[in-house]
Every structure is written in C-alpha cells, then in structure tokens.
Structure 1
C-alpha cells in the first residue's frame, strides 16, 4: 500500500462520528450539554473555593487545580467534536492534530499525578494530623503541582514527536479526536517500539500514580480502623469518599485504553473509553466533590444566592431611583 504523504499540509480525517443525521443531532446536543455542564460546574467550584475562607486548605488548592485542568481537558476535545458534527469536512491539519494530542496528553497526565498528590494529602491529614501543616505547606503544594505539570508536559512532547515520525498507510483516523492509540493502528511502520515506549510513559503517569494512591489509602484505612468510635471512623473515611470515586473512574479508564495490546483492541471500546475520561469525567468531578461536601454546598446556598439577591436589590433600587 502506498504510504500516506506526511507533509506540513497533510490532513487527517476523523471518522469517529456517525454520518446518520439523527444521530448527529443527538450527538451534538449531548456533547454540548456535557461541555456546558463541565464549564459551569468547574468554574462554580473554583469561585466557591476562592470566596470561602474555610476552603483555603491544601486539599482545595489541589481541587481548584483539578477543576482548571478539567475545563481545558474537555476544551481540547469537545469543541472540535461539535464542529465536526456540523461540518461535512471532518479533516484536521497535522499541526492542529499534534497540538490537540499534546495538550490532551499533558492535561491527562497532570490529572493522574494530581490525584496521587491529593491521596498523599489525605494520608498526611489522617495519618499525620499533628504534622499536616508542615508536610503540606503552601510551598510544598506549589512544588508538587509544578512538578506534575513539568513531567507531564515533557512526556507529552516526546510522545507526540515520536508518534508523527511514524509512516501512516492512510489519513483516516477511526476516532473522535487525535489520540495516540488510533494513530498506532493506521501506522505502516513497526509500532512495537512505540507501543513499548507508550506503555512505559503511561505506566509512569497512570500506574505509578495509581499505586502511590493505593499505598496512601492502605495507610489511611489502617489508621481509620484504629479509631475507637464509629462516628470518628465515618468522619475520617467521608473525607476520602469523593476522591476514591474520582480515582477509580479516571485511573480505570486510562489503564483500559493505554495499558492493553492495541493490535487486538476494539475501536468501539477505545472510542467509548476515550469519551468517558475526556468528556464525562471532567463533568462529574466537580459534581462528585460538591455533592458530598457540606462546606461547598453551604457556600453555594448562602454566599452565591446572597450575592444574586443583593445584585437584584441594587438593580431594582437603581430603577426606582430613575
């Protein structure tokens, strides 16, 4: 088969979306609703944390970073899907594809590391309460976050450059957006070394983060079971509940997609898993944390509602003054 010409003007064609008009309308409305919910929920959580002094803690510092990541994580993917749903031309330039792949990989990796850091924060709070402020100082929080970004950004550049050095048999990508696994499938090159490199990179980001999280929770559960009162155990465990749900959902989908042989993988399953962690998870994260948190719900109920009432009162007063 003649190799696909990979010049700077080359374009890839994304085939992930259905060509059925009715399914396209349903898909467009579904993606639009998820994207708007993601933006609203994450921006709301960032605002709530910023206006409530009680929430100025390391855990919420990481949580606002997670919301910031989720906003852009979804933004790298969903707007292009929405555009391709409406357009007949579903092509994407090589440069645009590379940028989308790079930022998607970077933000996904940062979220992996950040979830592990948040587990360590819960370990320090529950297992080392007397030293918590020293362990999770403001400087340490910033360093851990910065390290997550630097490692993820560097790893992403290497993977993207390596991916587009491969030869491709054709420009048709059976996916919703530019991601490494579907490009391996259309490659005419020997992909063994690339797959090994991807497994190692993903192993560092996802598997290592997962195991660090697991170790943290083993220590956390060990400490919780030593608490004599049932109320004390429940209170300690409830501070970790939301994080456990998010970790299970995110790490599970990442490992299914990246840590299994791609020569025998299902395109349908790959696309479903990609959509789950790229569009659904960023939407659910702030909701999960908000629903289970009294301080967040209280701030939304009182502070924001109070500000809206005050704004309406001032507008009415201004109108009467005229």
Structure 2
C-alpha cells in the first residue's frame, strides 16, 4: 500500500492541478429529510464500527477463535470498517451543505477513490480465500491442519490484500495522469470513473482497463465461489454422511449469504448506473453498497457462527459475582 501511495505522490507532484478544488454533487437531500437521513446514517455507521471492531477484538482476545476460519474472517470486518469510514463520514459532512458548497480537494478525492475501490476489490478476494478454507476443511478434513498452517494463513491473507491494492493503484494511476477540463464530481463520492471523466482527453484506455479489471475481478470471484461450492456439494452427496452435510451447511451458508449480499448490492448499483433516468436512485444504491453489507456481515456471522454465538451467550456468566 505504501508503494502505491508513493507512486501517487510522485505522479501528482509533476502535475499543476493537484491543488484543484472539485465540486462534488453528493446526495440530493431535502431540508425536511436532512435530519432523519443524517441520524439514520450516523446510527448505522456507529453500529458498523462497534460491531465490526467488536468482532475483531473478540477474535483477537479469545484463544478458542484462533483458527484459520476466524483469522480469515477477521479481514472482512477490518475491510468493512475501512470502507465505510472512507464513504460515510464524508456523506454526513455534506448532508447539511448546499450542493453549491460541497467541495473536495483533488488529493482527497484520489485517496477516497483508492479506498473505495480497494474496499470493493478486497471484499471479493477475502471471500475467495474464505471459500478455499471451507473447501479444504470439508473436502480434505484429514489434511486440513497440515495445509492450513499459520504460514499458509499469512500467505493467503497477504495475497488477498495485494490483489486488491496493486490493481487499484494501477487503474487510478492511469486516471491521475490525465489533464482536467472539468471540476465536478457527479457521484456522491469520488471513484475512478469520476476522476477520468474530469478530463476531455481520449478516455479509451481508462475505460478498457477499468472494464477489464472489473470483469476479471467479478468473473474470477463468481467462478471461484461457484466451483468451490460445486465441489463441496459433490463431496457431501457422494459421502452420504449426514454429519458432514450438516457441517457443510452450517459453515458454508453464512459465507454464501454474505457473498450474495455483496454481489446483489454491487450489481444493483452497476445496473442503475447505466440508466440516466434513475441517476438519483443509482446514487443511493452506490452508497448502500458500502453500508448494507458492512452492517449485515457482523449480524450474520454473529448469529450463524456457533463459536461466536456461544461466546456472546457466556458473557454475563463471566462476570464476577460479589457476595453480599
């Protein structure tokens, strides 16, 4: 990550418009609905932060949860915290501002775009390594401990983040190199498309590279998840072992629900973005992509994961009883 930010800095140092102030349209909120929207968004943001940070702390402190499955999962709430923090506080700040008074510096816009794309990319890569972990646990249970060593956990975790960090840096680097003829961001927040649309130069390279990386990410993610669950289903059916089938259902259903939520929210935002008539609805959907999964993930894992649920149920009993 440091390498990518250094690259951004070197590229922007050679440009004359890095101090440019951009106008960001944001969400259109009426005066009557400004306070309810602000309160609701703030409460959701606080819930996301408390619940996800709480899960990270729980997994870090409780030795019973120091297993590959939970160590892989720990990356998901961390990613949710980072992604939501990049988007929501900026939206909260702009809700009570007039559209003509909503500004962001070019450098801050680039940083926000980087964080947004890294969040959406790493969400897929983290879920892919979690799917691989479930595949090994169910299809090769006798070799699980020898395969999922601490070294393997570190390698897979690093791979998930590197795959998210490096391509996003390359894609944004192509947008940073362009000159600007506009200073308006039409989206609620900065992203790669908003950055390269500031230019009047030929955008074919940016559009092709952006489309290729998106298709590659989504295609690889969907193929990997589908193939993994297909193999798990085949093993469960062939074995005829009810205990194995029950284990697969319990551990895989949670992961699959989380993945489908992210996939559904992402596809909704992308589809609405293609219809100018639903521009405002598309803006809302793009914001919800960074809110709904982050809020639901800790609930789903907290309620569906046996070890986490049992630990939470035992909290009142862990308190010391002071005799009268």
TM bin (shorter chain): 0.7 to 0.9
Query: Structure 1 residues 117, 242: CA separation in 2 closer, same or farther (over 3 Å shift)?
Result: same
Q: Does 1:253 align with 2:235?
A: no
Match of 1:30 among 40, 47, 50: 40
Residues 1:111 and 2:123 are matched in the alignment? yes
SS at match of 1:87: coil
Partner of 2:186: 174
**Structure 1 stretches of 5 or more lacking a match?**
none
C-alpha change, 1:273 and 1:165, in structure 2 (3 Å) is farther
Secondary structure of the structure 2 residue equivalent to 1:170 = coil
Unaligned runs of 5+ in 2: 1-14
Q: Could you tell me how far 1:234 is from its partner in structure 2?
A: 2.7
Change (3 A) 1:265 1:142: farther
Give the deviation of 1:145 after TM superposition: 1.1
Give the CA deviation at 1:185. Answer: 5.2
CA contact (8 A) 1:185 1:263 kept: no
1:86 and 2:96 equivalent?
Answer: yes
Picking from 36, 44, 67, the partner of 2:77 is: 67
Per the TM alignment, residue 133 of structure 1 is displaced from its structure 2 partner at its CA by 1.2
Aligned partners of 1:206 and 1:254 also within 8 Å: no
Change beyond 3 A, Cα 1:80–1:260: closer
Number of the residue aligned with 1:298: 310
* CA distance 1:269–1:214, change in 2 (3 Å): farther
Q: Does 2:108 align with 1:96?
A: yes
Deviation at 1:227, TM superposition (A): 3.5
The correspondence for 1:132, drawn from 137, 144, 148, is 144
Deviation at 1:263, TM superposition (A): 8.4
Local SS of the residue matching 1:12: strand
Q: CA deviation at 1:225?
A: 1.6
Provide the secondary structure at the position in 2 that maps to 1:18: coil
Q: Which of 275, 280, 284 is matched with 2:292 structurally?
A: 280
Q: CA offsets per residue over residues 79-134 of structure 1, 9 Å max, x none?
A: 11111113343110000000111122123212211100100111001111111112
Matches of 1:108 and 1:271 in 2, distance apart?
16
Residue 292 of structure 1: how far off its partner (Å): 0.8
What is the Cα deviation at residue 146 of structure 1?
0.9
Decide whether the 8 Å contact of 1:18 with 1:24 is kept in 2.
no
Report if aligned partners of 2:273, 2:282 keep a CA contact under 8 Å in 1: no
Please say if 1:51 is aligned against 2:61.
Answer: yes
Matched, 1:13 2:23: yes
Identify if the C-alpha distance between structure 1 residues 17 and 264 changes in structure 2 by more than 3 Å, giving closer, same or farther: closer
Alpha-carbon contact 1:13-1:91 (below 8 Å) kept: yes
Q: Considering Cα pairs closer than 8 Å and 6+ residues apart, tell me whether 1 or 2 has the greater RCO.
A: 1
The 3 A distance-change label for structure 1 pair 202 and 258 is: farther
Aligned to 2:291, the other structure's residue is in SS state helix
- Structure 2 counterpart SS, 1:84: helix
1:194-213 residue pairs with structure 2 within 5 A? 194-213=206-225
Alignment partner, residue 87 of structure 2: 77
Aligned-residue Cα RMSD (Å) equals 2.7
1:228 and 2:245 correspond: no
| Counterpart Cα distance in 1 of 2:112 and 2:294 | 17
- String of CA shifts for 1:3-27, please: whole Å, max 9, x gaps: xx97122122221222411222122
Confirm or deny: 8 A CA contact 1:206 1:255 kept in the other structure: no
Q: Aligned partners of 1:255 and 1:130: how far apart in 2?
A: 38
* Bigger shift: residues 266-275 or 133-142: 266-275
Q: What's the CA shift string for 1:214-269, capped at 9, x where partnerless?
A: 11111011112223254542332111011001111213433555699958795335
